[in-house]
Amino acid sequence: MTTVHEPFPTAEWWRTAVIYQVYPRSFADADGDGIGDLAGITARLDHLAALGVDAVWLSPFYRSPQRDAGYDVADYRDVDPLFGTLADADALLARAHELGLRVVVDLVPNHTSSEHVWFQAALAAAPGSPERARYLFRDGRGENGELPPNNWTSVFGGQAWTRVDPSTGSGASDGQWYLHLFDSSQPDLDWTNPEVRAELEDVLRFWLRRGVDGFRVDVAHGLVKADGLPDWGGQVAMVDGSTDPGAPEDGSTPATESGPMFDQDGVHEIYRSWRRVLDEFDGAVDGERYSRALVAEAWVEPLSRLARYVRDDEMQQAFNFSFLTSRWDAAEYRAVITESLRSLDAVGAPATWVLSNHDVVRHASRFGLAVPGSRPNGLFATDPQPDEALGLRRARAATLFMLALPGSAYLYQGEELGLPEHTTLPDDVREDPAYFRTEHAEAGRDGCRVPIPWAAGEPGFGFSPTGKTWLPQPAGWAAYAADAQAGVPGSTLELYRAALTQRRRRALGAGGLEWLPGFTDDVVAFRTFRTDAGGVVVLANLGAGAVALPADARVLLASAELPGGGTLPADVTVWLEG
């Protein structure tokens, strides 16, 4: 037996929390326009409390032209009318807290919307002005400044620079360029500017005063760019991470994995100051003392680099995309789990685990692809289609071993229903800017953002009182609807509920972890334990054939029906009393 992580008894909620991601436009619609809203979320919070999660993370609901589904913020201190009002946000927070759920909101500090007053003022002002200095405006290269200032590309495709000229309607005719790592409607802020820092700290305080319990920090690795914005030969990407052609061939860790736009040392000072802001609010709600949490969305590898974001005086958590991007392979999972626990233990931070979110193909479909776990940026109807039944079987197995792991886990709305990706969306309904900026080479992320089916027999599966849905739902989703699964033994929803109940009862999030010997390489086999209580043995069979269960196995939970005869079939996870 090899112990890789000791139990960590603790009272801080974020060390062990299961956090459920709500994507507001697709969770539940109260006003009938076919786009989800805050009132819809509030009305469905009971579902989340009954599921057994500890916290909810809301993707952005701020005022926004919605060019990147709200990750293009025009006003950080207001709710977009699409989603409701500030009063609706307050009501959501109050109801969540009543149900014992913490609320984490999304903060988008790398860029604003081009409709933000700051950017509009920048366009109206002259080069070199304080208004331009909040963003990354530069003169172009070439004789007449007609070439972009450097060769960076946008994560969504195309170049990362746009030139201001009268044709943008901005009135600016000086021909400078501005940087946008994402869409041209998402200009990057200049984080060397103290005014930018002060403003975003004030935004943090605005939401902390309203009672939020934390922030998920968008593109946390991108805020600071290398001095001089040097050219770079790599290709930035979100789903696959960046590729650096200059990485050493001997396999040693390069100083910078991700190019001059990501993971620069300067980001850490920003998070230290944010941590101080959060600490001001300890005890602010009902005199309760618990720290609010910051979680980094940082596509940074290796894990030892990611761990720098969660050092003692920085953020509390960082998403573990190394786990999310693992292929369906037991050795790969063992390696990433060990490395995650070791790297994060080294800085005293909890590990986190995540399989799906609003940016990747849902894991129920990824695991049903010909290369299980491969990660295309969306799927077209003309692409080879995932095997739905196999993908779901593996997804349930993956979730079950994830939920036993020590630390904190993230769930993405609909995965508790076993939802697959919508892989046959008509192209004319797509909205993801990545689809357009790659000139339709990539399908993009719409397929994982389809409105949730709540009621099998209702129009739009109960997503909206009018039956409208901003993206069409596949007809086959009736079988996945929440009301078709609630109370049904063996359903995915009941599997999640049972796993979350056991996880909480046995405080697995605070457990230690040891690898168990004696199983074939295809089995992920570990025991999670506490010093004051018994443990749980977790066996996940990722191989092609059945394996024998230990003779005295007492099965607590299984991700699929077991055939009897003491075997664990392929693509099934069990929790055993241990």
Q: Which two tokens stand for residue 202?
A: 């004030």
Q: What gap in Å lies between CA 316 and CA 369, rounded to an integer?
A: 34
User: Do the Cβ atoms of 349 and 320 come closer than 8 Å?
Assistant: no
In the complex with ligand NOJ, which residue's Cβ is closer, 157 or 211? 157
- Does position 218 interact with ligand NOJ (CB under 6 A)? The reply is yes
- Does position 576 interact with ligand NOJ (CB under 6 A)? The reply is no
In the complex with ligand NOJ, which residue's Cβ is closer, 106 or 571? 106
For 235, 438, 469, the CA distances from 434, given in Å and listed in that order, are: 15, 6, 21
Question: Minimal distance in Å, beta carbon 376 to ligand NOJ?
Answer: 16
Question: Minimal distance in Å, beta carbon 508 to ligand NOJ?
Answer: 27
| Catalytic residue flag (residue 218) | yes
- Does position 23 interact with ligand NOJ (CB under 6 A)? The reply is no
For 128, 273, 309, 337, 537, the CA distances from 223, given in Å and listed in that order, are: 21, 14, 13, 28, 42
Question: Minimal distance in Å, beta carbon 304 to ligand NOJ?
Answer: 23
- Among 61, 62, 71, 526, contact with ligand NOJ (rule: CB under 6 A): 71
Question: Minimal distance in Å, beta carbon 60 to ligand NOJ?
Answer: 9
In the complex with ligand NOJ, which residue's Cβ is closer, 71 or 207? 71
Residue 54, number of CB atoms within 10 A of its CB = 22
Q: Which two tokens stand for residue 44?
A: 């469905």
Active-site residue identified among 33, 227, 265, 280: 280
- Does position 274 interact with ligand NOJ (CB under 6 A)? The reply is no
Q: What gap in Å lies between CA 167 and CA 254, rounded to an integer?
A: 42
For 71, 150, 181, 296, 444, the CA distances from 64, given in Å and listed in that order, are: 8, 28, 18, 22, 20
- Does position 68 interact with ligand NOJ (CB under 6 A)? The reply is yes
Residue 196, number of CB atoms within 10 A of its CB = 20
Positions in 75-114 near ligand NOJ (CB under 6 A): 108
- Among 18, 55, 219, 303, contact with ligand NOJ (rule: CB under 6 A): 219
Q: What gap in Å lies between CA 44 and CA 550, rounded to an integer?
A: 41
Positions in 454-483 near ligand NOJ (CB under 6 A): none
Positions in 367-396 near ligand NOJ (CB under 6 A): none
Could you tell me which residues come within 8 angstroms of residue 286 by beta carbon, excluding any fewer than 6 positions away? none
| Catalytic residue flag (residue 280) | yes
In the complex with ligand NOJ, which residue's Cβ is closer, 5 or 358? 358
- Does position 200 interact with ligand NOJ (CB under 6 A)? The reply is no
Strand, coil or helix: 165:
coil
Question: Minimal distance in Å, beta carbon 359 to ligand NOJ?
Answer: 5
User: Do the Cβ atoms of 447 and 379 come closer than 8 Å?
Assistant: yes
End-to-end CA distance of the chain: 14
In the complex with ligand NOJ, which residue's Cβ is closer, 63 or 358? 358
Question: Minimal distance in Å, beta carbon 182 to ligand NOJ?
Answer: 4
Instruction: Return the closest-CA partner of residue 394 out of 356, 443, 338.
Output: 356
Strands 18-22 and 408-412: parallel
Question: Minimal distance in Å, beta carbon 269 to ligand NOJ?
Answer: 22
In the complex with ligand NOJ, which residue's Cβ is closer, 132 or 358? 358
Question: Minimal distance in Å, beta carbon 262 to ligand NOJ?
Answer: 12
Active-site residue identified among 218, 257, 359, 416: 218
* Omega of the bond leading into 433 within 30 degrees of 0 (cis): no
In the complex with ligand NOJ, which residue's Cβ is closer, 296 or 495? 296
Question: Minimal distance in Å, beta carbon 73 to ligand NOJ?
Answer: 9
User: Strand ranges (DSSP E) for 418-562?
Assistant: 512-515, 523-530, 533-541, 547-548, 555-558
Which ranges of 346-387 would DSSP assign to H, the alpha helix?
363-366
- Among 339, 359, 416, 514, contact with ligand NOJ (rule: CB under 6 A): 359
In the complex with ligand NOJ, which residue's Cβ is closer, 108 or 411? 108
Residues that contact ligand NOJ, how many (by CB under 6 A): 9
- Among 76, 182, 454, 575, contact with ligand NOJ (rule: CB under 6 A): 182
- Interface mask (CB under 6 A) for ligand NOJ, residues 283-302, using x and -? --------------x-----
Query: Would you give the DSSP letter of residue 540?
Result: E
Q: What gap in Å lies between CA 509 and CA 11, rounded to an integer?
A: 11
**Helix H or strand E segment including 167:** none
Positions in 106-165 near ligand NOJ (CB under 6 A): 108
Instruction: Return the closest-CA partner of residue 414 out of 36, 16, 21.
Output: 21
In the complex with ligand NOJ, which residue's Cβ is closer, 183 or 416? 183
For 191, 286, 416, 567, the CA distances from 410, given in Å and listed in that order, are: 29, 27, 11, 30
Residues in touch with ligand NOJ (CB under 6 A): 68, 71, 108, 182, 218-219, 297, 358-359
Catalytic positions: 218, 280
